[in-house]
Amino acid sequence: MSTIDLGQNKVIDESKQGEAIFVEGTNTSNTKKLYVESYGCAMNFSDSEVVASILTKDGFSTTRNVEEADVILINTCSIRDNAEVRVRKRLTDFKKHKKTNPNLVVGILGCMAERLKKSLLEDEKLVDIVAGPDTYRDLPNLINEVGSGQKAVNVLLSREETYADISPVRLDQGGVTSFVSIMRGCDNMCSFCVVPFTRGRERSRDPHTIIRECHELFEAGYREVTLLGQNVDSYRWNISSKGEIKDESQPSTNFAELLEMVAKVSPDLRVRFSTSHPKDMTDNVLETMAKFENICPSIHLPVQSGNSNVLTRMNRGYSREWYFERIDAIRRILPECTISTDFIVGFCGETEEEHQDTLSLIDYAQFSFAYMYTYSERPKTLAERKYKDDIPEDVKLKRLAEIIEKQRFYSHENNKLQIGKTVKVLVENVSKKSTEHLSGRDGRNTMVVFPKGELTKGQYVYVKIEDCTSATLIGTVIEVCKPHSK
C-alpha cells in the first residue's frame, strides 16, 4: 500500500528502501564503518542522528557503501504492517553479506525492535543486536557483546531518557533545515497506535539544551528547525501532567513558551513544529505564533476521522465539534495559516455515513494537504483487542480514493489563491524536475519552484507566484532578502 502526501505532490512508496545516513568528513580508512538506514517518521531520522553521534565518539565513521560496513543498523517503524515487511526484506538482504563478511554486525533499532525482539533474534535469526528507542547509549556495549559471540538485546523503556546532552551528527552536512527533538514517548493511548508501547511514556527535554542545539544549528548555517515530538503541545518542563509546578525554585516551560524561546534565537531562523494533537492545541500557542514572523504559519493537526463515534473508538479524546472549534480558532488568530492533517480510512466498524462525515469535514476545513492511509491493524493495540478489522479492503480503497480526490481539489484551490502574491521562500534544493530551477518552501509549508539564477541554498528570497499545481507554487524571484543585523 502507498500513502499520498499532497503537500509534496508525491506517492510515498512503502516498498521503497529507507534513507542511508552518511556524514561527510568522518569516513577515514582507520576506523570502523557504520551504515545506518532509517524508516518511518521524522523522529526516527532524528534518532538516527543521535545514534551516529554516539558511535562516532566510539570510533566509528559513517559510510554510504553497505559493502564496506562493519556494523549495519536499521532504525525501524511499526506504525503499519507494510513498513515491517519492508524492513524484514532488507534484513534478509543484509544477512547475505555475512557470507562474505562473517564479522559483520547487523542490528535493528526503534519501534519494530522493541516489538519483535524475540522473532528477529531467535526465530528468524536476522539480527545480532536489538536496541529499543531509549537504549542507544548502550550500543557500544551491545556491539562489543556481539564481538564476544553473544546476541545483544536492550529494549528497556525509560521515564527519563531524552538524549538532551548529545549533539546529533547531522544527516545532511551543509543542509539548511534540521529536526530538533524536544520530547520522547507518548501518553495518549489512541486505540490504533503502537507508539506508547514502543516508545514509552511521555517526557520532555530540558529547554536550555533545546535552545543550545538551535543556536549551534544556526551558527552551522542551518536556517530552519522543526521541533519534534509525538505530541508537541503537551511539552512541559518542571510541570506535572496535572499542570502543577514540580519545583517552585526552578523555572517551568510549556510549549508556547518554548516556541517563543526558539523564535528568539534569531529572526533568520525559521521555526516549525510537528506534530500537534487537537485536544491539546491551545490558543496560547496560536497567539505565540502570531507574535513572531519567523514562526511559520503552518500547523499539522491530525484529525484521523470526521465522525465523533469513530473518534471515540479511536480514543482520540475529542469530538468532531471540538476539532471544528480548533479550526475556527486557527483561522481567527492566524488567518494566513495553512492546516494539514492525517486521515485513517476504514477504521473498525466505520459505516458509510461515518465516512461521509470525514468528507464533509474536509469541505469545512479545506486542508492545504493531507497524509491519507487505510487502516492497518497493529498487534497489542486496544483496537486489536477490542474491535474487529471488519471493513473489506476494496471498501477501504474506494473510500481512500474519495478522500484523495476531494483533498487534491482543495490543495489546488488553496494554491490558486496564492497566484499574484509574493511569498518569502527559503532556498533548499535544486528542483527535482529541472537543474535550472531551485525549490524551497514558503512559511505556509508549500513548495515553491523558481529559476536558479545566482542563488544558493540557505538564502531567503521573495518570489512572485505566477502559476501552480495542486502541490507546488511556481514563480519568479523579485528580491533577495538581507539577513537581519545581529
What is the CATH code of the structural domain delimited by 177-416?
3.80.30.20
CA distances from 152 to 36, 134, 251 (A): 18, 15, 40
**83-117 tens-digit pLDDT:** 778 888 888 888 888 888 888 999 999 888 777 77
Which residue in this structure is represented by grid cell 531518557? 161
**253-271 tens-digit pLDDT:** 999 999 999 999 999 999 9
DSSP 3-state helix, strand, coil percentages of the chain (rounded to 5)?
Answer: 35, 25, 40
Q: Is 36 exposed, middle or buried (0-12, 13-18, 19+ CB in 10 A)?
A: buried
Which residue in this structure is represented by grid cell 510515498? 12
Lowest mean pLDDT among 183-192, 287-296, 297-306: 183-192
For the chain, give every domain's residue range. 3-154, 177-416, 422-480
Using a cut of 0.75, tell me whether the model's pTM lies above it.
yes
Contact 38, 126 (CB under 8 A): no
* 3-154: CATH architecture: 3-Layer(aba) Sandwich (3.40)
- Provide the mean pLDDT of the chain: 89
Predicted local distance difference test score (pLDDT) of residue 195: 86
- Determine the Cα–Cα distance for residues 34 and 22; give it in Å rounded to an integer: 9
Q: Residue 485: CB partners within 8 Å, gap ≥ 6?
A: none
Question: What mean pLDDT comes out for the span 190-210?
Answer: 92
Confidence band (pLDDT; 50, 70, 90) for 331?
very high
Predicted local distance difference test score (pLDDT) of residue 13: 33
> What ranges in 345-392 are assigned the alpha helix state H?
352-365, 382-386
Question: What mean pLDDT comes out for the span 131-139?
Answer: 93
Homologous superfamily, domain 422-480: Nucleic acid-binding proteins (2.40.50.140)
DSSP code of residue 169: P
Predicted local distance difference test score (pLDDT) of residue 486: 58
Contact 126, 88 (CB under 8 A): yes
Strand 422-430 to 460-468 pairing:
antiparallel
Lowest mean pLDDT among 154-158, 234-238, 369-373: 154-158
Residue type, 14: E
